[in-house]
Structure 1
């Protein structure tokens, strides 16, 4: 098993459980609130680490009460935090999350210290990165840093996986073409390709365009419908798992972290996707993001009961 490097964000999740969003000027009482560690990069690192992966994290925390908690959470899970550094006079990243009773969510993000993760930080961590077998990045950090991570991986022969979330318009096609893995959801796929994506068939068509543009492997997450693969290994679907969803927050990150862990073990894409679909399904049965991610033994019991 090789090490995984996650270059990305961390956030403090401020989760409010609601029946509906208030209208302009309206005040409503909400039935519940929770606070936890989150951020797309951190979530993906935690999911992989909980399953047993050896994870190196590159990220920035702020100069506030949230920073110590974020670092302690990483360290408790065995994640290497040598390259998670503080930014003086800046807040940590924060994500207010609103979860409705039907389990669907709306999220705001304030990047805070995450906006200070720069290409120079990748250079500073190059010794650790060059010992990794996979680099995972997302879009809650500055695009220049994402692009530099892709270039670094290409230059040193390290596979790079980009989860293009949150969705951003106008991503560099030249950098996308250097990717080993692109793993978007349907909304992100539509934004990247400019195509309508509202079904597995339309997702297949859009994914084919990206593979034709040079990306080696495109995996489209389809929620409860599973996931779709298009790339050097052909085309195939992995069916979703039907579960009683409580909170879908962080499900995509659960998929990425689980996929990264399993692919890093034996390079079997279909097997890693199958595990990731199930892991993501399990995550929506609990509240919160990282708190809903099972460790390896709990996940194995879930698989046995399917």
Structure 2
């Protein structure tokens, strides 16, 4: 007797699902029994329009394997695009259970060369492109809860190591990905009362966005067997589990996923502290801070720093 599928009957939306991580997530959800709304605008790495959306190709892959999926080509960084994404799930399948926010692109520049348009474009797609689908999905789930139909809803957001530690040449991307962590924490706190869990991942995998960074194939240390540690499919099992009913009780967390490794990331928290109970002078502050830093943990290195 085969094991039950983890997401049997669930309806899952994945943004930016035409390629890379999003495609891997969509296929993995379908393999676990989910019905999938595959969103992809079909643009280039810099966010400009491409020759056509690959979302339909992913839908064809899912259907060829016996799954159920529908394509959505709207821009999730617009109110109408995000609203239509949620409507696509409701009108096609009658419900929405899981939202995976994954869409994004790069416009890398050193800060002194970073144009305002490059900043705005990356913020728009990564940060606004997370906020708007989350807002519209959350409105649906809140209405369901108030109508006496509490959902078992899940949101998986996509941050990055760049958002947790910073990355040289990626000030816009790092800031947007850090913002996604903050959004995740707030959403988890606000939406829990409605049956919604919200988590984030910081994946490391070979995609169009990272192919210049990662070699074509990297064997995991001691892994053997031709294991491709940078394959995007390695990240998807965690995303599928977080988006399933089986992840009950897990919310407001950030997980790093790379190869066969999963790490619970522990964010900003109070470290060494001193309180003199009165106002400091600047000189006194300097002495106090030096002593505090001597007892504090050293922060992780910014990616790409010398």
TM-score exceeds 0.5: no
Bigger Rg, which one: 2
Could you tell me the TM-score, scaled by structure 1's length?
0.42
Could you tell me the TM-score, scaled by structure 2's length?
0.42
Relative to its length, the structure with more strand (as a share) is 1
